[in-house]
Structure 1
Amino acid sequence: MSEILFLAHRIPFPPDRGDKIRSHHVLRALAAMAPVHVACLADNADDMAHEGELAALAASHCLVRRRASLVGAGLVALVTGQPLSLTAFASGRLARYVRKVLAERPISAIYVFSGQMARYVPARFAGRVVMDFVDVDSAKFAQYARRPTPAAPAYMREAWLLRRFEARVARRATTSLFVSEEEAALFRARLGPRRAAQCDVRAMGNGIDTALFDPAGVAPAPEMTSAGPQIVFTGQMDYPPNVEAAIHFARHVMPLVRGRFPAAQFNVVGRAPARSVCALDGENGVRVTGAVPDVRPWLAGADLVVAPLALARGVQNKVLEAMAMGRPVLLSPQAATGLAGSDGTHFALSPIASEELAARVVRLLSDPRRGQAMGRAARALVCERYGWDRMLAPLPQLLGFGLA
């Protein structure tokens, strides 16, 4: 019986942030197909506490806590000429486990989640390799590098090295996956026509658990009791694009919104808020929650969910969650990339410029009936188009388990 090796840069438990949500559902789908052996890393003690859940699903596993500092990983990257994204996730113990599993088990396919884990795939492995890049990371770092910050040269180095690495990995892989057709097209363009013709590059979108994210029976968070409208932003709050978006909305958009709705509240909901995000708490009606046990009550209590991201790669889990909860959602064009539906029916679009964004917020908050209709249409859309079963249906064929 054929078996699968699954490599991930973070343990897929708990599924409470974008990358871990996708890896969690992919792993479950793979485990339903064949025995799966899992090699992954943990960022901290909280991640390590979920090892039992991983053990219950996997045929075998190796979970390694990342202990190397970014400074140390950076020095190794400079000395070896590698991207920091690779050296930050290096583990001899993980490499030994991979070699042992490949030597002892009938592994016919390797599923690699996130580009930095491709380093663990042996050149001599003869089976299928599915490389789930999710996003074009090198393009993300190139965008960071275009901003006038002291880190710009480091970002440019990372972008250049990662682009070369991604191209090598795509040539090695049987299939390379991205979270949207837009990301897949961007990757093909960066490869160039000749190399792109030699690689199988496809889109496999993110899904949503519509049974879990169902507004029926979910009460608003008890903290959301003020009379004014409740605006919600969710996400990993030390992730730079989320930090940027929250600060911009709090400092430049909320004062304009509160000119029309003086009691409006902006709830920034998500773990590990950066110091600059924490500093927003209490300013212009802003509440920074930090980590919450369940994001659904905060979505249930929202009059409007916003995702005004200047930089976004692929379909955003935060957007699907809000839509599944039947909330009206206001998106930047970047955050709407790869999303089915239309502006004004399933969600609202606005540039992130302060006055335009504030004006669209005010229009939506001024017409609750329209917002409710938008929320109903949003939930109907995600229930129809974005179930995980539908999104992951290609996996058996990609891994060779759907062939006659």
Structure 2
Amino acid sequence: MSGEILFLSHRIPFPPNRGDKIRSHHILRHLAALAPVHVATFADDLADMAAESELAALCASHCLVQRTKPLWRAGIKAVASGKPVSLTAFQSPQLSAYVRAVLASGRVDTIYAFSGQMGQYIPGTFAGRVLFDFVDVDSAKFEAYAETGKGPRRWIDAREGRLLAAEEARLAARSQVSLLVSNEEAALFRARLDPALQATCDVRALRNGIDSALFDPAACTPAPAMLQCPGPRLIFAGQMDYPPNVAAALRAAQQILPAIRAQLPQATLHIAGRNPPADLRALHGKNGVNVWGAVADIREWLVAADLALVPLTIARGVQNKVLEAMSMALPVVLTPAAATGIGGSDGATYAVGESDAALADRTIDLLSDPGFAAQLGQNARRFVVEGLSWDATLAPLAAMLGLGAAAARHAA
């Protein structure tokens, strides 16, 4: 066999400007250095479609399909077919035809699937190696949504969690290796399989890395708009149409910031990220809250901040927003959920708090002691520079894929 790879991804790995795309971007680049890669993927919008030339320059062939199916239509089809909404939303005859054609060439002996939505494109007849990157346990996330949801939304999320759990088990049984983003997430995934599958499935962690040369406080200048705001300045950054991020931003603005401002009246909170919903935008300019929406370069906003506040309640996998802040030598106050999978330790590389009061107190303590806050930030940067480069975290991939000899031929 020639050792070529088919890479299936639910979003085009360009540009690497959100958590899942950052991971898929670096994995795809790593795979392309090992062997020729064929890519089947989706675009969410025209900005994604504009990145097609970057994708084409990296891979041997590709198929990029823009998703246009409304979520409500995917939901109706999913209910009628008994499938998860997550799968029907990513069904494409065009992508299926491309996958069949690439596999029919006989050049591909490995499929790397990124995210559970893409398992539907792996033919049952494919006899090669399958490496499935679930990233995190999606079924558990929807179960958590259902626990706090109300009305029809609660039923929808509970149904999605149940059906995705069955799909995750099916795909784990189908794959040679199942990957999760942290040891904790891998343990959770394994524990949710029935005992027979636990005994036979190879479930491992493949951690996220960070480009510490790019995320370097010395490599960028602070965002002028943020510097015009009073300080100390706190930042929460992330994709702001993602429900856990929205909940965390609202928590920071409405529960935690008022307690901080009671002690430090000039403190301001800066929320940066694409597509903030109306209830979040409504807070802009009030009580020290600034909602900036999409920003051109998040590094400029991180370097302008005095502290990153990450009060996530639901946090699956490793949070890139935490790694980026740490790499920028920014002191980070976060929940235990947001710290999961990072490594490091409370008080040495970040500060942990569970309740609103604890998060506010840890933030006030750091802002009141600039010397210790600066040391915490430097410790955080040293931690990610020394142990969390992408080259280091992705080094096990070649052996997992059985590409040792193929990689040598490709490199030659």
- For Structure 1 versus Structure 2, the TM-score category normalised by the shorter chain is over 0.9
Q: What is the distance in 2 between the residues matched to 1:398 and 1:356?
A: 42
Do the aligned residues in 1 keep the contact of 2:56 with 2:62 (CA within 8 Å)?
yes
The reply on whether 1:285 has 2:284 as its aligned counterpart is: no
Q: What is the distance in 2 between the residues matched to 1:227 and 1:265?
A: 7
**1:368 aligned residue (345, 367, 370):** 370
Q: What is the distance in 1 between the residues matched to 2:123 and 2:14?
A: 26
The reply on whether 1:170 has 2:175 as its aligned counterpart is: no
Q: What is the distance in 2 between the residues matched to 1:243 and 1:176?
A: 29
Please name the residue that 1:307 is paired with.
310
The reply on whether 1:385 has 2:363 as its aligned counterpart is: no
**1:322 aligned residue (322, 325, 330):** 325
Do the aligned residues in 2 keep the contact of 1:235 with 1:269 (CA within 8 Å)?
yes
Q: What is the distance in 1 between the residues matched to 2:149 and 2:64?
A: 38
SS in 2 for 1:130: strand
Identical-pair percentage: 57
Q: What is the distance in 2 between the residues matched to 1:113 and 1:46?
A: 21
More helix by share: 2
Q: What is the distance in 2 between the residues matched to 1:235 and 1:66?
A: 22
Deviates more, 1:246-255 or 1:62-71: 246-255
Please name the residue that 1:39 is paired with.
40
Do the aligned residues in 2 keep the contact of 1:132 with 1:178 (CA within 8 Å)?
yes
Please name the residue that 1:356 is paired with.
358
- Letter of the 1:17 partner, please give it: R
Please name the residue that 2:78 is paired with.
77
Do the aligned residues in 2 keep the contact of 1:309 with 1:334 (CA within 8 Å)?
yes
How far is the alpha carbon of 1:354 from its aligned partner? Answer: 2.3
Deviations 1:282-311 (A, max 9, x none): 122111111111000111011100111000
1:89-104 superposed matches below 5 A: 89-104=90-105
Q: What is the distance in 1 between the residues matched to 2:150 and 2:358?
A: 26
Q: What is the distance in 2 between the residues matched to 1:236 and 1:278?
A: 14
How far is the alpha carbon of 1:261 from its aligned partner? Answer: 1.5
Q: What is the distance in 2 between the residues matched to 1:188 and 1:30?
A: 26
Q: What is the distance in 2 between the residues matched to 1:148 and 1:12?
A: 31
Do the aligned residues in 2 keep the contact of 1:228 with 1:261 (CA within 8 Å)?
no
- Letter of the 2:65 partner, please give it: V
Deviations 1:209-247 (A, max 9, x none): 011001113211111223420100000001101100111
**1:297 aligned residue (274, 281, 300):** 300
Deviations 1:360-390 (A, max 9, x none): 1111110111010001000000011110001
1:147-166 superposed matches below 5 A: 147-150=148-151, 151-166=153-168
TM score, norm. by length of structure 1: 0.98
How far is the alpha carbon of 1:105 from its aligned partner? Answer: 4.4
Do the aligned residues in 2 keep the contact of 1:179 with 1:315 (CA within 8 Å)?
yes
1:263-282 superposed matches below 5 A: 263-282=266-285
Do the aligned residues in 2 keep the contact of 1:228 with 1:262 (CA within 8 Å)?
no
- Letter of the 1:370 partner, please give it: F
How far is the alpha carbon of 1:254 from its aligned partner? Answer: 1.2
Q: What is the distance in 2 between the residues matched to 1:212 and 1:251?
A: 33
1:7-156 superposed matches below 5 A: 7-150=8-151, 151-156=153-158
SS in 1 for 2:321: helix
Do the aligned residues in 1 keep the contact of 2:334 with 2:359 (CA within 8 Å)?
no
Deviates more, 1:302-311 or 1:147-156: 147-156
Deviations 1:128-151 (A, max 9, x none): 100000000001001111114221
Do the aligned residues in 1 keep the contact of 2:252 with 2:309 (CA within 8 Å)?
no
Q: What is the distance in 1 between the residues matched to 2:238 and 2:189?
A: 25
Q: What is the distance in 2 between the residues matched to 1:258 and 1:357?
A: 13
Q: What is the distance in 2 between the residues matched to 1:265 and 1:223?
A: 13
1:208-223 superposed matches below 5 A: 208-223=210-225
SS in 2 for 1:39: strand
Do the aligned residues in 1 keep the contact of 2:139 with 2:165 (CA within 8 Å)?
yes
Q: What is the distance in 2 between the residues matched to 1:217 and 1:101?
A: 42
Q: What is the distance in 1 between the residues matched to 2:276 and 2:106?
A: 42
SS in 1 for 2:214: coil
| Gaps in structure 1 of 5+ consecutive residues | none
How far is the alpha carbon of 1:262 from its aligned partner? Answer: 1.4
Q: What is the distance in 2 between the residues matched to 1:325 and 1:357?
A: 21
How far is the alpha carbon of 1:403 from its aligned partner? Answer: 5.8
Please name the residue that 1:195 is paired with.
197
Q: What is the distance in 1 between the residues matched to 2:64 and 2:172?
A: 26
Q: What is the distance in 2 between the residues matched to 1:10 and 1:331?
A: 28
Tell me the C-alpha RMSD between the 2 structures: 1.0
Number of residue-to-residue matches in the alignment: 403
How far is the alpha carbon of 1:276 from its aligned partner? Answer: 1.6
Do the aligned residues in 2 keep the contact of 1:251 with 1:284 (CA within 8 Å)?
no
- Letter of the 1:100 partner, please give it: A
Q: What is the distance in 2 between the residues matched to 1:265 and 1:360?
A: 16
